[in-house]
Amino acid sequence: MQRFRHLRIIDMNTPQMEDFEKKMENLSTPEIRSESRKNQLKLTLLNAKKSAYVGFVLIILPFLFAFANIFKYQLGIDLGFLSAFVTWIGSFDDTPVINWVLRILLLGGPIVAVLVNLLAITHFQIDKHSNEFIITFKLKWLNITIILFCCFVLLIFILYLVAENLM
């Protein structure tokens, strides 16, 4: 019984409580006064689905070339179609124009695919009131997967170039 000795019971019908209730009812609610947050429209530079399709098309040739080279020369496995594909691309080494176009597609394709997909999921905004430059990313998993896959293919090419030039 010692614990309840200091317990004060508040009667809700007292004039003090009525004054408190009136004060609470008359309080104004806080508001956000940033007009730039209310009138905000985020536009993407590219459509996410179309950029994923473009990225997929741009990565097919470099992926097949890297995959075929790894199997044919590194693992010593002849996969028929892929080996013929590598031989076909190698046959254009004597033709300068086609050789340059193929090299641009092999190295430039994944780079362009990464840029196109990054532009599709990235939003840029300048808030003049708070003097901020805001970058946001949408979680479009197809675009993110293509970006990571393109980076993987580019990493394979870079590692190949480094290993070939060091040895």
Domain definitions of the chain by residue range:
44-166
pTM of the model: 0.65
Q: Is 2 helix (H, G, I), strand (E, B) or coil?
A: coil
d(CA 58, CA 106): 9
Q: Which amino acid is at 124?
A: F
pLDDT tens digits, 48-57: 888 888 899 9
Give the per-residue pLDDT at 35: 55
pLDDT tens digits, 94-137: 888 888 888 888 889 999 999 999 988 888 888 788 888 888 88
